[in-house]
Copies of this chain bind each other. A is one copy, B any other.
Amino acid sequence: MMNLLTTSELSVTEIYDILAEAKKFSEGAAWQPNQSSFVANLFFEPSTRTKCSFEIAERRLGLNIIPFETHSSSITKGETLYDTVRTLESIGVQAVVIRHTEDEYFKQLVGKTNVKIINAGDGCGHHPTQSLLDLLTIYEEFEHFQGLKVGIVGDLIHSRVARSNAVALHRLGAEIVFSGPKEWIDQELLQYGRYEDIDTLTETVDVLMLLRIQHERHQVGGKTVDYHQAFGLTVEREKRMKKGSIIMHPAPVNRDVEIADSLVECERSRIFKQMENGVYVRMAVLKRALQQSEGGKNNDNSHQKWSMAY
């Protein structure tokens, strides 16, 4: 079972294994499955960035990608996700990458199909490859997590990534602090770290993780506040950041909202580096899924007369 469903199901050892594998891919390592392998990317919610990144990772591994257009699929005729995935399995697909609006959609699939499931985002829940690429970006910079101070700023309520990252970084020994409008931070998150004002936070963190927000202006205590001045990374705040500290953002960036336009590609910024790392992490995750698959092949149609024999 080498699905990838959530970051929390991964042991610390498994996280380090995936990061090590991804690092090897970043250094030019190559890997291809023993036999011609087919994958399908099922994006029931649009996300060009994540989808393109998976597509590149899949091609670098020499996989065959079956285009799957969710808007014209039988799902629109009422077919269950399970039947769709079983259909893909029947025609020879070994792994599916799924993004779906439903929280934990994968629970209806796990244990009932031999197709490997890679979660590319579910509802407001999990987005494990985004977390892993963030971890890789931090790890390649500092070569450890223990004791690093990581600040996460912005719309923490709606960010699936922020939650996963906070939990994973806490398990890996980092110190977490949050900032942004207080109404966007809930009690559950405060288990993993404390709230800090934005100026103290930016001056003291090793890693500043900015989150995308939906609206530039919002209400605080009955008056409208400009997000950039209140909680964004302004040119002034960046100047007071610690030596060696880095800036991260999951993108797409709202320039001059979460971060000043001129800082998006500044020396501290790892924003485009994160995207590059996304490809390596997805290669590692796909290798992990398909490698397992090679050993443990178990065709569900096997009680039927002929078996898939390529």
- Residue of A53, A252, A300 most packed against chain B (CB within 10 A): A252
Question: A53-B91, A253-B83 are known contacts. Are A28 and B64 too (CB-CB below 8 A)?
Answer: no
On whether the beta carbons of A38 and B67 are closer than 8 Å, the reply is no
CB distance B88 to A52 under 8 Å? yes
Please tell me if the beta carbons of B270 and A140 are within 8 angstroms of each other in the complex: no
| Interface residue? A9 (CB, 8 A) | no
**B87 and A49: CB pair below 8 A?**
yes
Are A48 and B73 in contact, CB atoms less than 8 angstroms apart?
A: yes
Answer yes or no: A254 CB below 8 A from chain B CBs. Answer: yes
**Pick the contact of A87 from B79, B251, B303 — CB < 8 Å?**
B251
Per-residue interface assignment for chain A, residues 268 to 289, with 1 indicating a CB less than 8 Å from any chain B CB and 0 otherwise: 0010110110110000000000
Query: Would B59 and A38 count as touching, CB distance under 8 A?
Result: yes
Asked whether A48 lies within 8 Å of B72 as measured between CB atoms, the reply is yes
Cβ < 8 Å to B, chain A residues 233-272? 251-255, 264-265, 267, 270, 272
Contact yes or no, A83 B252, CB < 8 A:
yes
- How far is B84's CA from A251's CA once the two chains are assembled, in angstroms? 10
Which residues of chain B come closer than 8 Å to A254, judged between CB atoms? 78
B83 and A276 contacting across the interface, CB-CB below 8 Å: no
B28 adjacent to A310 (CB under 8 Å): yes
Q: Tell me how far the C-beta of A210 lies from the nearest C-beta in chain B, rounded to whole angstroms.
A: 15
Contact of A74 with B48 at beta-carbon distance under 8 Å, contacts A273-B301, A310-B28 already known: yes
Nearest residue, chain B, Cβ from A253:
B83
Q: Chain B: which residue is nearest A304 at the CB level? A: B273
Question: Which residues of chain B have C-beta atoms less than 8 A from A303's C-beta?
Answer: 267
Instruction: Find out whether the CB atom of A36 lies under 8 angstroms from the CB atom of B49.
Output: no
Does A103 sit at the interface, judged by CB under 8 A? Answer: no
A252/B26 in contact, CB under 8 A: no
Determine if B83 and A305 form an interchain contact, defined as CB atoms under 8 angstroms apart.
no
Q: Can you list 14 pairs linking A and B with CB atoms under 8 Å apart?
A: A28-B309, A38-B56, A46-B69, A48-B74, A49-B87, A52-B87, A59-B66, A77-B252, A78-B252, A78-B254, A79-B251, A83-B253, A91-B275, A92-B276
